[in-house]
Amino acid sequence: MEGARCIFERTPDVIGRNVMSCHHPDSVHIIYPILEDLRAGLRDTAEFWIQTRPKQGSRFIHIRYFAVRSPQGKFPGTLEVTQDVTDIRRLEGERRLLDELK
């Protein structure tokens, strides 16, 4: 995806590619064991978070990997979900659905 809110720029042509080729070579040694655990069925998800420091200010990024499995348990691949949760972390108290309508 592209755009102003894109955390790590990806284009649609990355779908189906080896996830290792979508990451910086410096992070491959971290990602590979996670993917192997997902593939082997040792885990279904893996998550971590990082603090970025772009010129516009620090952002808190939550990254999750999900094993994709068929009903028969076959492992065709991994889904990576990246979310900027900076604003979510600032939430306090509560806001109920009906509060939005007032």
Tens digits of residue pLDDT in 9-27: 667 777 777 777 777 788 8
Q: Within a domain: residue 46?
A: yes
Q: Within a domain: residue 4?
A: no
Count of the separate structural domains present in the chain? 1
Q: Within a domain: residue 20?
A: yes
Q: Within a domain: residue 33?
A: yes
Per residue in 44-65, pLDDT (tens digit) is: 999 999 998 877 688 999 999 9
The domain of 37 spans: 12-85
Q: Which residue has tokens 């604003």?
A: 87
- Residues linked to residue 50 through DSSP beta bridges, in sequence order: 61
pLDDT of residue 53: 82
Threshold 0.85, pTM exceeds? no
Pairing of strands 45-52, 59-68: antiparallel
CA distance 69 to 45: 12
Q: Within a domain: residue 98?
A: no
